[in-house]
């Protein structure tokens, strides 16, 4: 019986390999043999999770043709990978990817590190901050006080608790977007909301237009749902959305769904202005595309005097085009797995009906906690603290990067939780790999793209500040030196940091 569970075609693997930027060779620098460069490229793809473990690789002859190299080169690369534990083979079954014994399986998304590893590793993979206290404790206590009447029921509320649906509807109405509770469904986080929307509107093989770059975990969710992703390039820096490109893609590709993060975009931090929002809604309406708008970062504006633009759904008064997704996880705490969908009542009814075959409902106690926060003023106080913390972390990280890595380029966003950094020509995948060895975990740019784009970038979140931000930048600089030198071993080990 074959040991592989999926397959990677020769053309697909060639595209992924060709997306890896090579570091220019300096004077006197010897390039590795072709077979070694190929083996290293495949190994990086496996370590990054961009080629799954237990994926069958193409036959040697097929890959040689796609890469325009000799079959001997591919055969030698495969043999090197087998010797290192990254490839297994069996006569008649082919060759499939693996990881050496003792190595962790590569993450396909951006899962946080286990708490026990945080003493030696600085985690810049997860864009989430610790819970704001005392508001988390107060919210849970308030929820416990409200719980007894619900405990006498079956506890299943597929659309969400009526009280929380009303509170969320009132908040939209207060922003000038008249909303009824029938237009709200409470979900298990924003990921649960988008998963439900994708299953309702974009079946296997359907096209979904996505920003390029976009949020890595959502891209992976859509891939695993069988969607065909259609990337739409973002403009440079913080300029955000290129409306000519969006109109062309929506017109020519006719995607069933488009997914955008209009408020402090993850990962770039860009903010769509009101004209961009209006044009995007008009283009989606003309194309018959459902526009899914992720608002999870919308309250994390960090600069003084900032005025929030009108929500994207405010440019869709009929409610026929825009579906809005919100969440408590970014603005409050990632451990508070409460999200919501705002859409037309018929869309909400369809989502609720489909939920019977998914998770049935969202935990009651957490819904009560969020409702307590939103209805008592605790939410605003907690988010103010969150903004102050994120602002201080942003400024500390920016200062540390400019000192330690002056050739790295980035624009400082006015909000959100992430910095999108061009790494001075270095491979983001190699920086991520070497960073693990020097004690800093960072996601590389290709995680946020489609088919290997953004190899020259990394995403850095505003999750550390002060001396930890200084140490994180120092470790990134150490990783960059190792990547530039072409070192393959851990010449510089992690330094222990005591908070």
**Percent share of the chain, pLDDT over 90:** 64
The whole-chain average pLDDT of the chain stands at 88
Is the pLDDT reported for residue 486 higher than 60? yes
Cα 216–218–224 angle (5° rounding)?
Answer: 105
Mean pLDDT score, 129-142: 95
Going from the C-alpha of 449 to that of each of 233, 234, 353, 407, 460, the distances in angstroms are: 10, 11, 33, 23, 16
Query: How far is Cα 54 from Cα 320, in angstroms, rounded to an integer?
Result: 43
Is the pLDDT reported for residue 68 higher than 70? yes
Backbone angles phi, psi at 459, to 5 degrees: -110, 130
- Please tell me whether residue 449 adopts helix, strand or coil conformation: coil
Q: Mean pLDDT highest for which of 11-20, 115-124, 217-226, 280-289?
A: 280-289
* pLDDT score recorded for residue 55: 82
* pLDDT score recorded for residue 429: 86
Mean pLDDT score, 139-168: 95
* pLDDT score recorded for residue 455: 81
Is the pLDDT reported for residue 491 higher than 60? no
Is the pLDDT reported for residue 107 higher than 50? no
Mean pLDDT score, 98-103: 72
User: What confidence category does residue 360 fall into, taking pLDDT thresholds of 50, 70 and 90?
Assistant: confident
- Please tell me whether residue 341 adopts helix, strand or coil conformation: strand
The pTM assigned to this predicted structure is: 0.81
User: What confidence category does residue 32 fall into, taking pLDDT thresholds of 50, 70 and 90?
Assistant: confident
* pLDDT score recorded for residue 114: 64
- From the list 265, 237, 277, 293, the residue with the least C-alpha distance to 127 is 265
Mean pLDDT score, 223-227: 89
Instruction: Give exposure, 127-136, as e/b (b: 16+ Cβ within 10 Å).
Output: bbbebbeebb
Mean pLDDT score, 416-444: 91
Residue bearing the bigger pLDDT, 480 or 106: 480
Residue bearing the bigger pLDDT, 233 or 170: 170
Is the pLDDT reported for residue 115 higher than 90? no
Contact 323, 123 (CB under 8 A): no
- From the list 409, 339, 416, the residue with the least C-alpha distance to 370 is 339
User: What confidence category does residue 219 fall into, taking pLDDT thresholds of 50, 70 and 90?
Assistant: very high
User: What confidence category does residue 12 fall into, taking pLDDT thresholds of 50, 70 and 90?
Assistant: confident
Cα 386–388–394 angle (5° rounding)?
Answer: 100
User: What confidence category does residue 271 fall into, taking pLDDT thresholds of 50, 70 and 90?
Assistant: very high
* pLDDT score recorded for residue 108: 45
Query: How far is Cα 36 from Cα 388, in angstroms, rounded to an integer?
Result: 48
Instruction: Give exposure, 268-288, as e/b (b: 16+ Cβ within 10 Å).
Output: bbbbbeeebbbbbbebbbebe
Residue bearing the bigger pLDDT, 8 or 107: 8
* pLDDT score recorded for residue 203: 84
Is the pLDDT reported for residue 307 higher than 50? yes
| Torsion of Cα atoms, 59 then 63 then 66 then 69, to 10° | -130
Mean pLDDT score, 99-120: 60
Q: How far is CA 16 from the centre of its chain?
A: 19
* pLDDT score recorded for residue 7: 80
Q: Which two tokens stand for residue 310?
A: 């009108």
Flag the least confident range among 140-149, 232-241, 250-259.
Answer: 232-241
Q: Mean pLDDT highest for which of 37-51, 228-242, 416-430?
A: 416-430
Q: How far is CA 259 from the centre of its chain?
A: 13
- From the list 400, 413, 409, the residue with the least C-alpha distance to 474 is 400
Mean pLDDT score, 463-469: 95
| Torsion of Cα atoms, 380 then 383 then 388 then 391, to 10° | -130
Mean pLDDT score, 431-455: 86
């Amino acid at each position: 019986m074959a040991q592989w569970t999926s397959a990677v075609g020769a053309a697909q693997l060639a595209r992924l390999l060709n997306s890896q930027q090579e570091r220019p060779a300096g004077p006197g620098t010897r390039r590795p043999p072709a077979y070694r460069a190929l083996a290293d490229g495949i190994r990086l793809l496996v370590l990054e999770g961009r080629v799954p473990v237990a994926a069958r690789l193409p036959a040697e002859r097929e890959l040689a043709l796609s890469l325009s190299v000799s079959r001997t080169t591919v055969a030698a690369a495969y043999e090197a990978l087998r010797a290192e534990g990254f490839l297994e083979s069996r006569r008649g079954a082919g060759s499939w990817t693996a990881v050496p014994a003792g190595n962790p399986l590569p993450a396909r998304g951006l899962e946080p590190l286990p708490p026990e590893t945080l003493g030696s590793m600085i985690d810049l993979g997860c864009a989430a901050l610790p819970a704001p206290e005392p508001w988390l404790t107060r919210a849970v206590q308030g929820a416990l006080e409200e719980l007894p009447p619900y405990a006498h029921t079956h506890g299943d509320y597929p659309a969400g608790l009526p009280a929380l649906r009303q509170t969320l509807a009132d908040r939209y109405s207060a922003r000038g977007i008249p909303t009824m509770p029938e237009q709200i469904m409470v979900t298990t986080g924003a990921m649960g909301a988008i998963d439900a929307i994708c299953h309702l509107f974009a079946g296997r093989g359907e096209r979904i237009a996505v920003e390029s770059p976009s949020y890595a975990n959502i891209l992976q969710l859509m891939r695993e749902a069988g969607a065909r992703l259609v990337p739409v390039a973002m403009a440079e820096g913080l300029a955000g959305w290129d409306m000519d490109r969006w109109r062309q893609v929506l017109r020519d590709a006719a995607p069933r769904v488009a997914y955008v993060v209009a408020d402090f975009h993850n990962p770039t931090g860009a903010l769509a202005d009101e004209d961009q929002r209006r044009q995007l809604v008009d283009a989606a309406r003309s194309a018959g595309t459902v526009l899914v708008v992720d608002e999870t970062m919308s309250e994390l504006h960090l600069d003084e005097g900032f005025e929030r633009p009108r929500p994207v759904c405010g440019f869709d008064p009929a409610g026929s085009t825009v579906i809005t997704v919100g969440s408590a996880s970014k603005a409050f705490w990632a451990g508070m797995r409460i999200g919501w969908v705002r859409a037309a009542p018929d869309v909400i009814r369809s989502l609720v009906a489909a939920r019977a075959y998914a998770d049935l409902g969202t935990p009651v106690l957490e819904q009560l906690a969020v409702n307590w926060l939103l209805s008592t003023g605790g939410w605003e106080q907690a988010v103010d603290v969150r903004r102050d913390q994120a602002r201080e972390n942003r400024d500390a990280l920016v200062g540390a990067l400019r000192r330690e890595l002056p050739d790295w380029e980035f624009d400082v966003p006015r909000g959100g939780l992430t910095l999108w950094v061009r790494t001075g020509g270095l491979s983001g995948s190699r920086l991520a790999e070497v960073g693990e060895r020097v004690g800093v975990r960072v996601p590389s740019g290709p995680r946020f793209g489609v088919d290997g784009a953004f190899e020259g970038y990394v995403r850095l979140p505003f999750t550390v500040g002060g001396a930890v931000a200084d140490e994180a930048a120092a470790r990134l600089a150490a990783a960059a030196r190792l990547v530039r030198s072409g070192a393959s071993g851990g010449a510089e080990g992690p330094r222990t940091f005591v908070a």
